C-alpha cells in the first residue's frame, strides 16, 4: 500500500499518512498541470517548494517517499506502476470536483487500485453538512451557528460566549490616521525554495500561451509565504500575538499603503495542509480566554475559518459541476485587461491589482468589494473572473474560488447569495482611503470624471431589473432608481457604454 499525497494535502498529523505510519508515500509534480492557467509565480513556487519540503520531512522521519517530477500524472503513474505493479493507493478525498474519478481511472488503467478516505483538512464531514442542509439556497449564518453548537467553539452551554452569535456591528470600523498594523512575518527562501523560484522563472515564465498575457502578466516581489509546517506555525503564532486583537474592527477596511492590515495571511497554509482549521481556531480562542484578544476579533476570525471556509467547501461539493458555469444574470462581458496589467486610473482597482501582481494576494474585502464588485457591475462573465482569481492568488483552489467568485461575487447561481454584492463609490469611500487621491469623482454618476462605480452601479440595477426588483432585499435601491428621471437614466446608460468602450481600449 502507498499513500498518494496531493500538493494541497501536506499533512501527516491526521489523514492517511497518520493512519498508515509504516506505508510509503507518493507525491507527483506535474508540470503540464501548472500550465493550465497563467498562474502567479508565487503560487507555483509555494506549491512546488512546499511539496519538496514535505517530501524531505517525510524522508527525515524514516518514511519511504516516491517522488516523481513529470509532465503529467499519467507519466508519473506509468513510472510508479512499472516499479510497483498492482500497488494499492490510498488517498485523502480531494476537495476539487472530479479529481477522484480522474485519478481512479488513471490508476486502474495501470493495474492499480485507489481507496479514498475522509478529507481531514476540514472540520465538517460531508454527511454532517448533508444532514443539516435544506437547500439550495443554503444559509451561511444558520450553518455557522449549527457548527458552533456541533464543535463547542465559543459556546457556553447552548448559548454563544458573550451572548451574541456574531459581532459584525463592531467589525466595520476604519482605522484612525495614526494606526499602524504590525508587519506580517516574511519567510526568506532557503536553498530549496530558491531553486524552485529559478525553475519556475525559466520553465513557466511565458509558458502559458492563452489570452491575454500568457505567463508574463505578474510582477512578483519578494517571495514571503510559509512552505513548511514549522514556518506555518510561526505565522500562526505571529498573527495571534501581534494582529489578532485588531483583526475584528478593521477586517473590512482598506488602506492604500497597508496591504496586509491585521489579516492572518494563513489561508495558504490552511489550504495546502500545513495548518489545520481546528488548531488555528483553538489558538485564537485561547488568546481570548487569556485576555489577549477581544471577543469581536476572535469571533470574526472563527467565523471565517469555521463558518465560511467549511460552508463554501460543501456548497461547492454539492453544486458542482453546474456552479462553475452558473450565470443567472447572463453577464457576457470579457474581463477587462487591467485585471492583468493594473493599467487604470481608478485608484482602488489599480492598487489592488498591483498587489495581486506583486504578491498573489489581497484580503477578502478587496476581493469582494473592489475586484468582484466592479466585475459584477461591469457585467463580466463569472467564469472568466473565476479563472483570473484561480490563476492570480496564491491561496486559490477551485473549491475556494468558484463559490466565492461565481456565487458570492458575481451572483451567478442563487445557491446561497441572497442578493448581489453590488456597491457604488460610497462603499469604497466609507471603507477605504482610495477616493481622496483618485482622479474620478466619488460623488458624480454621469459626466466627465464620474466614478465608474457610480455609473455602473445604477446601470447594473437598470439592466437587471427584471430579475432583481422582486428581491425583497433590493426594494430600497429600486425605489431610488425609480426616482431617477428618463433623462438621467439615459445619461447613465450612455456613460456606461462609454466606460465599457474605454475599458476595452485600455483607457479607463
Q: What share of the chain is helix, strand, coil (3-state, %, to 5)?
A: 55, 5, 40
Q: For the domain with range 126-187+227-319, which CATH number is right: 3.30.465.10, 2.60.40.1170, 1.25.40.80, 3.40.462.10? A: 1.25.40.80
If residue 386 lies in a helix (H) or strand (E), which one and from where to where? helix 382-392
CB-neighbour burial class of residue 356 (10 A; exposed 0-12, middle 13-18, buried 19+): buried
Q: What is the pLDDT of residues 96-121, one digit of tens each?
A: 999 999 999 999 999 999 999 999 99
Cβ atoms of residues 423 and 453 within 8 Å: yes
Cβ-in-10-Å burial (0-12, 13-18, 19+) of 263 comes to: buried
Question: Within 13 Å and on the Cβ side, how many CA atoms surround 378?
Answer: 29
Please say if the pLDDT value at position 211 is more than 70.
no
**pLDDT (tens digit, 9 = 90+) per residue, 325-366?**
999 999 999 999 999 999 999 999 999 999 999 999 999 999
Indicate if the pLDDT at residue 220 is higher than 70: yes
Residue range(s) of every CATH 1.25.40.80 domain in the chain: 126-187+227-319
- What is the number of residues in the chain? 508
Domain boundaries for CATH 3.40.50.620 within the chain:
2-117
For residues 392 and 344, is the Cβ–Cβ distance under 8 A?
Answer: no
Is the per-residue pLDDT at 215 higher than 90?
A: no
CA 356-357-360 angle, to 5 degrees, is 45
For residue 412, give every residue at least 6 positions away whose Cβ sits within 8 Å of its Cβ, in sequence order, or none: 323, 326, 327, 328, 329, 382, 406
Q: Is the pLDDT of residue 296 over 60?
A: yes
CA distance 48 to 204: 13
Q: Regarding the domain delimited by 2-117, which CATH topology (the fold level of the hierarchy) does it fall under?
A: Rossmann fold (3.40.50)
Delimit the CATH 1.10.579.10 region(s) of the chain: 338-504
* Fold (CATH) for 338-504: DNA Cyclobutane Dipyrimidine Photolyase, subunit A; domain 3 (1.10.579)
3-state secondary structure of 122: coil
Q: Please tell me the distance from the alpha carbon of residue 112 to that of residue 108, in angstroms, as a whole number.
A: 5
pLDDT band at 212 (very low <50, low <70, confident <90, very high): low
Residue 437: name the closest of 356, 378, 350 by CA: 350
**Contact call for residues 493 and 447 (beta carbons, < 8 A):** no
Amino acid at each position: 500500500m502507498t499513500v498518494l499525497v496531493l500538493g494541497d494535502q501536506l499533512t501527516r498529523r491526521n489523514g492517511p499518512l497518520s493512519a498508515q505510519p509504516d506505508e510509503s508515500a507518493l507525491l507527483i509534480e506535474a508540470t503540464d498541470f501548472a500550465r493550465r492557467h497563467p498562474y502567479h509565480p508565487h503560487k507555483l513556487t509555494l506549491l512546488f517548494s512546499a511539496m519538496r519540503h514535505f517530501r524531505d520531512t517525510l524522508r527525515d522521519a524514516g518514511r519511504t517517499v516516491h517522488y516523481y517530477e513529470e509532465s503529467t500524472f499519467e507519466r508519473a503513474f506509468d513510472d510508479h506502476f512499472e516499479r510497483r505493479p498492482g500497488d494499492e493507493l490510498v488517498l485523502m478525498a480531494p476537495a476539487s470536483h472530479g479529481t477522484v474519478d480522474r485519478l481512479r481511472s488513471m490508476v486502474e488503467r495501470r493495474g492499480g487500485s485507489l481507496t479514498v478516505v475522509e478529507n481531514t483538512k476540514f472540520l465538517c464531514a460531508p454527511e454532517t453538512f448533508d444532514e443539516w442542509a435544506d437547500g439550495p439556497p443554503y444559509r451561511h449564518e444558520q450553518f455557522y451557528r449549527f457548527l458552533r453548537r456541533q464543535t463547542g467553539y465559543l459556546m457556553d452551554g447552548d448559548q454563544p460566549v458573550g451572548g451574541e452569535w456574531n459581532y459584525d456591528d463592531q467589525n466595520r470600523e476604519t482605522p484612525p490616521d495614526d494606526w499602524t498594523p504590525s508587519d506580517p512575518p516574511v519567510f526568506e527562501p532557503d536553498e530549496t525554495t530558491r531553486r524552485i523560484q529559478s525553475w519556475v522563472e525559466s520553465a513557466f515564465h511565458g509558458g502559458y500561451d492563452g489570452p491575454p498575457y500568457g505567463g508574463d502578466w505578474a510582477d512578483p516581489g519578494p517571495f514571503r509565504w510559509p512552505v513548511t509546517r514549522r514556518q506555518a506555525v510561526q505565522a500562526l503564532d505571529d498573527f495571534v500575538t501581534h494582529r489578532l486583537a485588531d483583526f475584528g474592527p478593521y477586517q473590512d477596511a482598506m488602506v492604500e499603503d497597508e496591504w496586509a492590515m491585521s489579516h492572518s495571511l494563513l489561508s495558504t497554509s490552511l489550504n495546502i495542509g500545513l495548518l489545520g482549521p481546528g488548531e488555528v481556531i483553538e489558538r485564537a480562542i485561547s488568546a481570548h480566554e487569556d485576555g489577549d484578544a477581544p471577543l469581536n476579533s476572535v469571533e470574526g476570525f472563527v467565523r471565517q475559518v469555521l463558518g465560511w471556509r467549511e460552508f463554501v467547501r460543501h456548497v461547492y461539493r454539492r453544486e458542482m459541476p453546474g456552479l462553475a458555469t452558473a450565470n443567472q444574470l447572463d453577464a457576457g462581458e470579457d474581463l477587462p485587461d487591467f485585471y492583468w496589467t493594473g493599467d487604470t486610473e481608478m485608484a482602488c482597482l489599480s492598487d489592488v491589482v498591483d498587489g495581486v501582481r506583486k504578491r498573489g494576494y489581497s484580503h477578502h474585502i478587496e476581493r469582494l468589494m473592489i475586484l468582484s464588485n466592479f466585475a459584477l457591475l461591469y457585467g463580466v462573465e463569472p467564469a472568466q473572473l473565476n479563472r483570473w482569481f484561480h490563476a492570480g492568488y496564491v491561496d486559490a483552489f477551485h473549491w475556494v474560488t468558484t463559490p466565492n467568485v461565481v456565487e458570492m461575487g458575481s451572483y451567478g447561481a442563487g445557491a446561497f447569495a441572497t442578493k448581489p454584492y453590488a456597491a457604488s463609490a460610497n462603499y469604497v469611500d466609507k471603507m477605504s482611503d482610495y477616493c481622496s487621491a483618485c482622479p474620478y469623482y466619488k460623488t458624480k454618476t454621469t459626466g466627465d470624471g464620474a466614478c465608474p462605480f457610480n455609473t455602473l452601479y445604477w446601470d447594473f440595477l437598470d439592466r437587471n431589473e427584471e430579475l432583481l426588483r422582486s428581491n425583497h432585499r433590493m426594494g430600497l435601491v429600486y425605489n431610488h432608481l425609480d426616482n431617477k428621471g428618463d433623462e438621467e437614466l439615459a445619461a447613465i446608460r450612455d456613460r456606461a457604454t462609454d466606460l465599457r468602450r474605454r475599458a476595452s481600449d485600455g483607457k479607463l
